[in-house]
Amino acid sequence: MGKSITQIGLEELLKSGLVIDEAKWLEIELKAAIEEAKINSKLDPKKLWHFLTTKKLLKPSYSHSVHQLIYYSVYHNNDELVDGLPLYWFPSL
């Protein structure tokens, strides 16, 4: 099982292929999105994913590994029987 989105930081973003400026920006935006997606102090993955995609935080120019890292970390604890299928997104150019 991978890391939770709350555990993703600069190091993971850099390893996934972002340059330092992009990684710093995305780390800040992710932290803000995580706070925005909390309901009664509990993170709602679907709300977070919706926020990430509507705010276009994942750029089509980012490598697939960045998108994959964020997606799997948002839904790392998803139980399809309890939570339903995770939301998805296809980047557009």
Task: Please tell me what DSSP assigns to residue 86.
Answer: P
Task: Enumerate the domain spans of the chain.
Answer: 5-83
pLDDT computed for residue 39 by the predictor:
80
| Residue pLDDT, tens place only, 27-81 | 999 999 999 888 878 888 989 998 998 899 999 899 999 999 999 999 998 777 7
Whether 58 contacts 89, CB under 8 Å: yes
3: left (phi over 0), alpha (psi -120 to 50) or beta: beta
Whether 51 contacts 36, CB under 8 Å: yes
Q: How far apart, in whole angstroms, are the C-alpha atoms of residue 38 and residue 68?
A: 22
pTM of the model: 0.85
| Residue pLDDT, tens place only, 11-25 | 999 999 999 999 999
pLDDT of 86 above 70: yes
Query: Strand pairing partners for 42?
Result: 39
